[in-house]
Amino acid sequence: MLKTNFLGMELPNPVMIAAGPWNRDGQRIKESLEAGAGAVVTESIISDTMLDVRPRIASDSLGAENIRMYSDIQIEGWEREMEIAKSAGGIVIASISGQTPSELAYMASKMERFGADAIELSVSNPAAESLEVVASHADTLYDMTKEVVSSVKIPVTVKLSQNTTNISKVAKAVKAAGGSGVTAINTVRGILGVDLETAEPSLSTYGGISGEYIRPLGLASVATIAQTVDIPICGVGGISCAQHALEYIMLGSSAVQVGTEVMLNGKESIRKIVQELEIWVQDHNVNNLSEIRGKALENLKAYDEMKFEPAIIHANGVPCSENCDKCIRACMYQAISRKGRSIRIEREKCTGCGLCASVCPAKKLKLDL
């Protein structure tokens, strides 16, 4: 039921494990596949290994920040690692990162020879590439994708960045260059916080933010690409349960990648997400995920197409026993007040913003005509 086609490959399920140190060598990738991942992306491989900054990862309750996470194995060593990674079967996608088309093409053709099933171009890391990530320039990305595509026979997907003025344009460039898909999104440049006592930011330089923080950004990016470019999408950003994966799928993703959740809670979380997914599709009589792919896009209109209906909030006579008063505090138009054990809505004051319905823990308020 969860079988998914992505980049022309048959995945047992749509939940992939994203590029990162948890997939840093053959053994680790094998473990990721054994944990039930539909496919696994290697830690990003670069032309020349670099010394790692210490510390380079920080996290809080909502996500994580990392400075740089690249493979410390030279490409020569990946011949051996890929053999181990694929020794028990499974789909392995090689993530490669570089600065020029010919450099990327060289690495891609090597990884193809070593047995990679597909290539993911990682040219959008906000920590390593300063303010203007390569993936924000459609022309550069076109040249890179084209040269890589022409030097391998396996599919090529490009990991895109939120850090661009128009992600649709960038995705179009990937398609025009012959890319088979896009992965969206990479981490987003940020600083997790500052220690007030020591005046030290979370890490010693700008990092890439991942986890909960970026899921709304990832969802919007995926939806935008799905609505404007006909190209398979792999959604990434803040996925830690089946609900999140399904949100990405309903907004147009064919597959999804999980990174930060694996980093913080281990690979067992993949098994859990896949199980939850199985239960959900059974409960909803979904035979194939393609039935729900992009389904939410029908309800996602452009601002210009929006209808302006005079809807206002209704409690529909449901008594409020929560007494939390959240709706009252959140109403910026002072349309809600308490009336004994219930709430009162002044119709003429309500402007239909919908916030009270969103904050109500009991979901008692509905926006209606």
Residues that bind other proteins (CB under 8 A): 47-48, 74-77, 99-103, 106, 130-131, 206
Pairing relationship of beta strands 45-46 and 312-314 according to DSSP bridges: unpaired
CA distance 62 to 266: 16
**Cβ of residue 266: shortest distance to other proteins, in angstroms?**
32
**Cβ of residue 74: shortest distance to other proteins, in angstroms?**
7
**Cβ of residue 240: shortest distance to other proteins, in angstroms?**
31
Token pair recorded at residue 136:
């924000």
For the residues of 250-261, what is the DSSP string, one character each? Answer: HTT-SEEEE-HH
Q: Which is nearer to other proteins, 130 or 165 (CB)?
A: 130
For the residues of 199-239, what is the DSSP string, one character each? Answer: TEESSSS-EEEEEGGGHHHHHHHHHHHHHH--S-EEEESS-
Token pair recorded at residue 55:
């510390």
Q: Which is nearer to other proteins, 34 or 132 (CB)?
A: 132
Q: What is the 3 state secondary structure string of 78-136?
A: HHHHHHHHCCCCCCEEEEEECCCHHHHHHHHHHHHHCCCCEEEEECCCCCCCCCCCHHH
Q: Which is nearer to other proteins, 126 or 155 (CB)?
A: 126
**Cβ of residue 19: shortest distance to other proteins, in angstroms?**
21
Q: Which is nearer to other proteins, 123 or 170 (CB)?
A: 123
**Cβ of residue 204: shortest distance to other proteins, in angstroms?**
12
**Cβ of residue 206: shortest distance to other proteins, in angstroms?**
7
φ, ψ of residue 329 to 5 degrees: the values are: -65, -35
Q: Which is nearer to other proteins, 46 or 327 (CB)?
A: 46
The residues that bridge with 208 in the sheet, in sequence order, are 66, 189
Q: Which is nearer to other proteins, 76 or 197 (CB)?
A: 76
